[in-house]
């Protein structure tokens, strides 16, 4: 959503004039890309990464452990499974991770790696 009419669509202009970019840069949103709206996807991932590295907004909050370890607890040596098509990542035990087609399957060594790559957590397994 543009706050002002764009003239070039440059990164500087996107940072200054696009509401979506402001939310990401301030740490109040996560990247979610839905085709065919992918024109700024690369920039959005970059902006999210910057906010995470600077501990802005949501990224500055301390994680709250789930009671009793919870479903989101990761066992040592496990990894996360991402879907390149939906840009969602899962625990390996999640029913939705099991349904990912081999050509769309992406493995991540950590939650941070998946988030940095622009993936969002599954709402079922909550990795």
- Are 64 and 126 in contact by the 8 Å Cβ rule? The answer is no
Residue 24 clears pLDDT 60, i.e. is over it: yes
**Buried b / exposed e along 24-36 (16+ C-beta atoms within 10 A):** bbebebbbebeee
Specify the pTM: 0.52
The whole-angstrom separation of Cα 126 and Cα 88 is 11
Q: How high is the pLDDT of residue 62?
A: 52
Count CB neighbours of 87 within 10 A: 20
The whole-angstrom separation of Cα 6 and Cα 10 is 9
SS3 74: coil
Q: How high is the pLDDT of residue 74?
A: 42
Please name the residue that has the structure tokens 């996560």. Answer: 30
Q: Taking the CA atoms of 65, 70, 75 and 79 in sequence, report the sign of the dihedral they define.
A: negative
Distances from the Cα of 113 to the Cαs of 79, 89, 92, 117, 119, in angstroms?
10, 10, 15, 6, 9
Average pLDDT over every residue of 35-46 = 87
At residue 53 the predicted structure's pLDDT band, cuts being 50, 70 and 90, is: confident
The whole-angstrom separation of Cα 109 and Cα 2 is 36
């Amino acid at each position: 959503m543009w706050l002002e009419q764009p003239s070039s669509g440059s990164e500087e202009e996107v940072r200054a004039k696009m509401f979506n970019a402001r939310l990401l840069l301030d740490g109040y949103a996560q990247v979610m890309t839905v085709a065919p709206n992918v024109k700024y996807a690369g920039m959005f991932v970059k902006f999210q990464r910057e906010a995470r590295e600077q501990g802005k907004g949501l990224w500055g909050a301390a994680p709250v452990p789930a009671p009793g370890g919870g479903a989101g607890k990761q066992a040592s040596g496990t990894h996360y499974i991402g879907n390149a098509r939906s840009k969602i990542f899962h625990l390996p035990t999640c029913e939705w991770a099991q349904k990912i087609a081999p050509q769309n399957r992406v493995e991540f060594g950590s939650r941070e790696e998946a988030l940095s790559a622009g993936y969002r957590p599954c709402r079922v397994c909550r990795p």
